[in-house]
Structure 1
Amino acid sequence: MTLHHISLHFPPSKFDAVLAFYLASLAPLGYRELSRPAARVVGIGVPVTGPDFWIHGHRSESSEDDQQREKVHVAFRAGDQDQVHVFYTAALAAGGVCNGPPGPRPEYSSEYYGAFVLDPAGNNIEACL
């Protein structure tokens, strides 16, 4: 079995910035907006496979709720090292913060290559081989 989809939830005040970040950052990997079934709910993905990454603006606007929320790590599979670099550049241009520049990660495996960026809410997003 493979993962079908994942959803990240954000306060409504961060929704537009987070959505813009992911649309720009994941475009080099072929992702784009594919579904908007409700207000502040957007599914993005590769058109061939459908939306597998969902952004939700949850009801609570409490900064306390957002500060206590566990941060997540999401890794997207890149086709090659060039895609990892383009993802990284696009993510930084979209407002992300470097959490590890593109390069080999021998501590994971001899063939692992990835880049890490923090999204506007502090989640660790990665493109890797």
Structure 2
Amino acid sequence: MIDYIGIPTRQLELMKAFYETALAPLGYEKVFEHEQGAGFGQDGEIALWIVATGSDGRGVNIALQSQDRVGVVRFYNAAMANGASSNGGPALRPEFHPDFFAAFVIDPDGNNLSAICRTHE
């Protein structure tokens, strides 16, 4: 299952305003914001990220849910063994959520792919 999708932009302020307005009728609101982007969702859970991108041309960011932390580690190892480059190895990232355990890779075509577990396991 998809955890969230990230859309890169070179027009961060414009895109934040656009999505805040466009998603409001669906019950989405800005849940999290920092200098490089903003997350939109419902009930405090982010479903869509708008992320500033530079000239690196990175593509979309897709985060997939893992049932446990072991799955996150296995995802990372399998991706790295098959041509991905690391964008952040398996680790707890409490700045996003107290149980946010994730690993991030860049696929061979330049997209960010991640696996996320939000449980203690």
Structure with more strand by fraction = 2
TM-score by length of 2: 0.49
Q: Judging by fraction of residues, say which structure has more helix.
A: 1
TM (norm. structure 1) is 0.46
